[in-house]
Amino acid sequence: MKTYSVAVVGTGAVGQTMLKVLEERNFPVGKLKVLATSRSAGKTVTFRDEEYVIEETTPASFAGIDVALFAGGEASKIYGRAAVEAGAVVIDNSNNFRMDPEVPLVVPEVNPQDVRWHKGLIANPNCSTIQMVVALKPIYDAAGIKRIVVSTYQAVSGAGQEAIDELRQQSRQVLAGEEVTGKVFPWQIAFNCLPHIDVFLENGYSKEEMKMVNETKKIMGDDQIQVTATTVRVPVFNGHSEAVNVETREKLTAAAARELLRRAPGVVVVDDLEAKAYPLAIQADGRDEVFVGRIREDFTIANGLNMWVVADNLRKGAATNAVQIAELLVQEGLL
């Protein structure tokens, strides 16, 4: 089997999960580099029972690298182009290139064909967008989509390891009757919900909400879809949940939608109300599929559906999707 030289840039929650997923999915890694900031350089990580020393990222780090997985943040803005110039294909989990018309924005279950026109850079979509479009793709193909209204319930792991630590710390403080302290979120996150993810924009929406609006249209290849979003951070460690209302162009019953979703790649339908079976974040944790349930018709409009969509945001919402893109590149002979 042909193997590839792989660089993982970033050793936070997403970077660590990328290494885990590469190993679990047996991606043909021949040579591995783990890169990060000077703060992490010199530490070690384990991959396939071997220890790797984390190196400081520089423009020269990408010589001989076939594919570079950037975990997020500012790294790709600084080093992404240098990695491409060195001959690597960059798969970037940040927001730096997602809406660049020259950069494909790819979810393998939805628009795998878009990897074919990459020019060295491929963007990994926002976590909340990924799980929604995986669930909506079979509905879009069958009946078209006119409008999407989505409300998200996003886990703190989407804000990184420090956010996970803050929720754990604040939960202990609340239960102990102590003063609650924190620095990651603007308000207490333990036992609370914050309708505030990323910065607020002039239109009153948050940047996270507008990511869902714009990325959905680009991934689906349809600028006519109307999308509106409200994104909320909730005191869950891992696993994003979404209430999705969709207005289709043609009538699609709940039963028909349920059957389409059962056959869809990457989707697991959990929808048995008598058994109290519906998608839960604690059940999606550690899984790569997108879970869909509470599928029902919206009786306020002619062609409406409601559904509940849950996925592991560190895996399918970030690391797994990036590795799946790398697998696509191998399958298409593009590495």
**Residues that constitute the known binding site:** 11-14, 39-40, 98, 154, 157-158, 233, 313
Q: Name the DSSP letter for residue 242.
A: E
Query: Which residue ranges make up the annotated binding site for NADP(+)?
Result: 11-14, 39-40, 157-158, 313
| Gyration radius of the chain over CA positions | 20
For 28-43, give one letter per residue: b (16+ CB within 10 A) or e: ebeebbbbbeeebeee
What backbone phi and psi angles, to 5 degrees, belong to 15?
-60, -45
290-294 CB contacts, 8 Å cutoff, 24+ apart: 290/131, 290/134, 290/135, 290/266, 290/316, 291/267, 292/135, 292/261, 292/267, 292/268, 293/269
Tokens of 314: 């560190």
Give the whole-angstrom CA distance, residue 326 versus residue 108: 10
| Catalytic-role residue among 118, 127, 193, 196 | 127
The C-alpha atoms of residue 15 and residue 5 are separated, in whole angstroms, by 16
User: Quick check: 108 and 198 in contact, CB under 8 A?
Assistant: no
Indicate the annotated binding residues for phosphate: 98
Q: Which of 118, 193, 196, 240 is catalytic?
A: 240
- Catalytic residue at 240? yes
Query: Annotated catalytic, 193?
Result: no
Residue 179: CB atoms within 10 Å:
7
Q: What type of residue is 147? A: R
Cα dihedral value 35, 37, 38, 43, nearest 10: -50
Both tokens of 120, joined, read 């060295």
Q: Give the residue ranges of the annotated binding site for substrate.
A: 154, 233
Strand partners, 91: 69, 122
Residue recorded with tokens 């990924």: 130
Q: What are phi and psi of 186, to 5 degrees?
A: -70, -20
Which residues are catalytic, by number?
127, 240
